[in-house]
Homo-oligomer: A and B are copies of this chain.
Amino acid sequence: MSIYEELESNVRSYCRSFPVSFNRAKMSKMYADDGREYIDFFNGAGALDYGHNNDYIKKRIIEYIESDGISHALDLHTRVKGEFLTTFRNLILKPRGLDYKVMFCGPTGTNSVEAALKLSRKVTGRTGIFALSGSFHGMTLGSLSITSGKVPRAGAGIPLTGVTFIPHPHSHPELDTIAYMEELMTDEYSGVEKPAAVFIETVQAEGGVIVLSDKFIRDLRDLCDRQGVLLVVDDIQVGCGRTGKFCSFEQAGIIPDMVTLSKSISGYGLPMALLLLKPEHDIWTPAEHNGTFRGNQMAFVGAKAALEYREEHRLEEKTLKDEALVRKFVTERLLPMDKNLQYRGKGLIHGVDFGRVEIEDAAGLVGKECFLNGLVIERAGRGDCVLKIMPALTIEEDELIKGLEIIEEAMKKVLMGNK
């Protein structure tokens, strides 16, 4: 019995899909203890956009540690926090005309969502939240209340309240979702109180790579403006450049009232989370929301380096180029294999949806086959039936193609071998 089976709680999960022990990793390659090498399309669930142990960032972090730079400082002022803030302002906020305050939350995405929930309620004096079916926002009680998955919701052990789930426009094209939300807000007999905020993911990653259209995002911004409701974009998984632009909502041309950021913000897989909020909503009293690890200094060092790296390596351009490559590959080489396959994607997050394919657990079989052939790739969505292609933004073209080819081979085996 391994130490994991002996000691680790049953709650562990990914290790069941990828049952080897990892040791070393470099950019888009992971190395297992048994010497095998894997291409990484899993990407730390979105936390490793710059690749594993990116040398540019690594160097800065090691220097910082070697210099006995303070490692943990809650919300004290520190040189590296100041430098991160300055860099974030100069490279991200200013060029985009974003006038946000930055809140350092406990260093996890869910903490940032919890802060956004509190502030939404405080700013508006209302309690309700609108979220979309398919949403994933986190596992602590507040975030969980606006997460749509029934299994994690049941885990709460108490009724989760204060949220109204709105049918996602993707699954209900026959319904004018914007008009429906406005009806809920304004119809005196809707049963649903006007909410404090609408929370969205522009691309639902865990939900199965479900993409909101730019038009929908703009119409929602207008609705929120009309009704005095806050718009919160949870950019934890698809912010930091995943969709091309640094912020996933940029392309739609709107400015949310709040933005949650985490996962790849530190650039090195280190725990860190931010909440961006409009200055007029910055009505927190000091310490009203806090957390011991909100001052993870190594993460600040990494985050600053990552933003510089992003500029220097023109990651936005690269992402759009890679997007085209993936789209072409999937469309031309994967989709023709089965007419029931569906495909959605944006930037460097793409989903091949096996939900209507007539082979049981097809996506699971493909995933397993990929792993056997050296590709670590996650699944998402209803029934875990969406193969999620989400490599690091720094992936080399040949690695990207190699990974896609592994998928192609696996799909051939699973889909064609069964025909």
Contact = CB atoms under 8 A, between A and B. Distances in A.
Interface in A139-155: 139-143, 145-155
Given A62-B66, A77-B4, A165 B191 contact: yes
A152 to B, nearest CB: 7
Contact of A121 (B33, B66, B139, B158): B158
Interface in A168-201: 171-172, 174-175, 180, 183-184, 187-193, 196
Interface string A262-305: 11000011110001010000111111111111001010000000
A179 to B, nearest CB: 10
Contacts of A406: none
B11 A292 contact: no
Nearest to A108: B106
B4 A284 contact: no
A45 B44 CA distance: 29
A383 B77 CA distance: 24
A77 to B, nearest CB: 4
B78 A157 contact: no
A20 interface: yes
A10 interface: yes
A163 B191 contact: yes
Contacts of A183: 167, 171
B10 A285 contact: yes
Contacts of A332: none
B288 A11 contact: yes
Given A47-B72, A122-B155, A22 B150 contact: no
A175 B183 CA distance: 14
A163 to B, nearest CB: 7
A53 interface: yes
A418 interface: no
Nearest to A147: B191
Contacts of A70: 22-25, 30, 52-53
A28 interface: no
A293 B283 CA distance: 29
B159 A159 contact: yes
A335 to B, nearest CB: 24
A230 to B, nearest CB: 12
Given A154-B193, A157-B122, A159-B127, A71 B269 contact: yes
9 contacts: A11-B290, A16-B286, A44-B74, A108-B293, A133-B189, A135-B189, A140-B142, A152-B287, A263-B292
Closest 6 CB pairs of A and B: A121-B157, A72-B269, A141-B142, A165-B191, A148-B191, A11-B284
Interface of A: 2-4, 6-16, 18-26, 30, 33, 44-48, 52-53, 58, 61-62, 65-79, 82, 85-86, 88-89, 101-104, 106-111, 114, 117-118, 120-122, 127-128, 131, 133-135, 138-143, 145-159, 161-165, 167, 171-172, 174-175, 180, 183-184, 187-193, 196, 207, 262-263, 268-271, 275, 277, 282-293, 296, 298, 381-383
